[in-house]
Amino acid sequence: MNDKKFYITTPIYYPSGKLHIGHSYTTVAADVMARYKRLQGYDVMFLTGTDEHGQKIEDKAREAGVTPQEFVDNIVAAPGGVLDLWKLMNISYDRFIRTTDAYHVESIQKIFKQMYDNGDIYKGSYKGKYCKPCESFWTESQLVDGKCPDCGREVMDAEEEAYFFRASKYADRVRDLLLNTDFLEPKSRVHEMVNNFIDCEGGLQDLCVSRTSFTWGVPVDFDPGHVVYVWLDALFNYMTALGYQNDQYHDLEKFWPADAHFVGKEIVRFHAIYWPAFLMSMDLPLPKKLYGHGWLNFNGDKMSKSKGNVVDPHLLSQRYGVDALRFFLLRSFPFGSDGNFTNELLIQTINNDLANDLGNLVSRTTAMAEKYFGGKLPEARQANPELDDSLISLAAGLRARYEDHMEKFQFQNALEEIFKVIQRANKYIDENAPWALAKDMEANGPRLAAVLYNLLESVRVCTVLLTPFIPDSCGKIFAQIGADENARTWDSAEQWGLLPGNICVTKGENLFPRIDMAKELSELDAIMEEAKKAALPELEVEPFIEEHVDFDTFCKSDFRAVKVKACENVRKSDKLLKFTLDDGTGTDRQILSGIAMYYKPEELVGKTLVAIVNLPPRKMMGRESQGMLISAVHTEKGEEVLHLLMVDDTIPAGAKLC
């Protein structure tokens, strides 16, 4: 039996809209960790899922005209939904929980009742500020500039009969957990939690854990009308998914307490304070580690699909490949800090690290093995310690340095160590100039074989350790360098010289093609523009003018039917058409109109239009305009569209409109 076990979780996602690349951040990181632990030989449980209750979902379902269950089913399981996204991102979760799963609902009801029975949940009345999108209640003092401290949006007054959880009772134990253990990381988040929520004015407040203002939640079975607060419902997913208080699963003993909960910084509060307090109330062991990672912003702004940002994981992975995307997320930003996602940085990272460094090393090495030895390296190899040792010792010591960072969830540093070896190996190619050695194969064959073998071994060790990050690409690299199962293991990453002497190397496809930055950015800009347009309302009508105009004033405007005798473009103007009009007076009237984008002059000749004829004449591009043609105006996909008002041709020129 394997006694090395590892239980890791992501937050469970709100299926309230489409997920963007920022949402993938926690899950990709947890996936890398799960794969890394499996590589080390651990029996891993990797849990993710969806958090499906709450007012926000109920409201959105109503807007969409479906039941809340239909609404969430559609986002979770439908094509393009959450499950699809995790498949796309190659997320190797072992279990997926939905908080609407019957077993979870049953467990939550039992947990709520037990906390009520042990006196930690009591009935009271809630008066406070409520942030609807975050489904969070706040006290006045917690608001920032009168707004929700999490999302910055407006809060509303709320009062209702509710159940409360005696969080205050656990304040000392939670403070102790945060200050005197390594439970919460990075450390920088600890003081924020303690100062803002425990050692704040009034101390840790009891938490409102039921709602009566909506129904889409786990019903409190002993008090109809109340549903369990989403956060209590959601947090316990980490245990119900193992079988806590249900018969669906039986993995609690094996995997609880969790080894790591990964969460974004804005939900650290729930996980660092209330979650341990809930567990203390139920007398349950606490998770070993909570890691609050930073946020990915987009061009310095909050990421959101609705802004037309190019942050759709489907689009990005189609253009660059899933591995490139996974790699970018963890290579470009320290996990604990905020990062600024830009398309430039993404392309730069792919070009520098994957195309230039890794891709080049693999393709040069395999190409030379094919070219000089037909893909089969000879057993006779001639070492040269002076030239070889620094590469070999750097590569052979890599696993230990990598492990050190991975254990602390410092993914960026772990990757940095790998890329130091890759860069060193590329330099080793230049130092040894295999192409020069190849000029005299008889004399230099064994030395050339040694150079290529050392390169292949460097590639192999790096690839073993890159596997959790870019699993598909690593599979392809292993195949190209002829690494069998033995040469792909965790142990093998510490053993230099594991590739068998008779390996068969084949230069395969170029794994990471270089991207033309300028061309790519302009294509992305075009996509962004399109997305922005698509997000605009189809048709928009000018707002109506509320102020009344008196009848006499209105009658002062002289509208007439006019017939187009001639029409032409005005020279040097993209916009203006010059009309010669019959207005019934016997004298031609000239009007200029900025309508050239919508009509060709010839198609207007003979038409009967409407003009206001008593505006003072004015000059446009040096020509006099004696009035204005009337158009209908609306906005279509953000662009103004004009239609000249045309009336029945039987209406004579000069007829007055009134």
Which residues contact ligand MSP by CB under 6 A?
11-14, 22-23, 25-26, 51, 234-235, 237, 263-264, 266-267, 295-296, 303
Closest to 381 measured CA to CA, from 454, 474, 488, 321: 454
- Nearest distance from residue 228's CB to ligand MSP, in Å? 13
In the complex, least distance from residue 78 CB atom to ligand MSP, rounded to whole angstroms: 17
Contact 161, 224 (CB under 8 A): no
CB atoms within 10 A of CB 313: 20
Provide, rounded to whole angstroms, the least separation between the CB of residue 193 and ligand MSP.
Answer: 16
Q: Which is nearer to ligand MSP, 296 or 644 (CB)?
A: 296
Closest CA to 624 of 615, 635, 636: 615
Cβ atoms within 10 Å, residue 254: 12
Distances (CA, A) of 68 to 39, 59, 60, 63, 217: 40, 8, 8, 10, 10
Residue written as token pair 């230990």: 400
Q: Report the alpha-carbon distance of residue 597 to residue 159 in Å, rounded.
A: 57
Rounded to a whole number of angstroms, the minimum distance from the CB of residue 343 to ligand MSP is: 15
Give the residue from 278, 198, 264, 266 showing the smallest Cα distance to 234.
278
Query: 3-state class of 297 per DSSP?
Result: strand
Cβ-based nearer residue to ligand MSP, 23 or 35: 23
State CA 373 to chain mean position distance.
46
Residue nearest to ligand MSP (CB): 264
The nearer residue to ligand MSP, 15 or 321, going by C-beta atoms, is 15
Q: How far is the CB of 205 from ligand MSP (least distance, A)?
A: 20
CB-nearer residue toward ligand MSP: 185 or 457: 185
| Nearest-approach distance from CB 274 to ligand MSP, in angstroms | 10
Task: Tell me whether residue 337 or residue 393 sits nearer to ligand MSP (CB atom).
Answer: 337
Q: With respect to ligand MSP, which residue has the nearer C-beta, 258 or 570?
A: 258
Quote the CA–CA distance of 229 and 627 in Å, as a whole number.
66
CB of 196 vs ligand MSP, minimal distance in Å: 18
Smallest distance, ligand MSP to C-beta of residue 336, A: 12
Q: Which two three-digit tokens encode residue 177?
A: 């957990």
- Please tell me the distance from the alpha carbon of residue 470 to that of residue 46, in angstroms, as a whole number: 18
Q: Between 103 and 295, whose beta carbon lies closer to ligand MSP?
A: 295
CA distance 196 to 85: 35
Taking the complex as a whole, how short is the minimal distance between the CB of residue 56 and ligand MSP, in angstroms?
10
Beta carbon of residue 69, minimum distance to ligand MSP (angstroms, whole number): 17
C-beta of 26 vs 281, nearer to ligand MSP? 26
Shortest distance, CB of residue 352 to ligand MSP, whole angstroms?
23
Decide whether 51 or 120 has the Cβ nearer to ligand MSP. 51
Its sign, for the CA torsion 32, 38, 42, 46, is positive
Instruction: CB nearer to ligand MSP: give 267 or 630.
Output: 267
State the SS3 of 341-377: ECHHHHHHHHHHHHHHHHHHHHHHHHHHHHHHHCCEC
- Of 25 and 409, the one with the shorter C-beta distance to ligand MSP is 25
CB of 21 to ligand MSP, least distance (A): 8
For ligand MSP, which is the closer residue by CB, 60 or 401? 60
Going 367 to 370 to 375 to 377, the CA torsion angle's sign is negative
Give first-to-last CA distance, the chain, whole Å: 94
Residue 207's DSSP bridge partners are 165
Distances (CA, A) of 460 to 96, 116, 377, 466, 544: 33, 57, 15, 10, 70
User: What is the rounded CA–CA span in Å between residue 298 and residue 305?
Assistant: 10
Instruction: State both tokens at 53.
Output: 């209750």
Q: How far is CA 25 from the centre of its chain?
A: 6
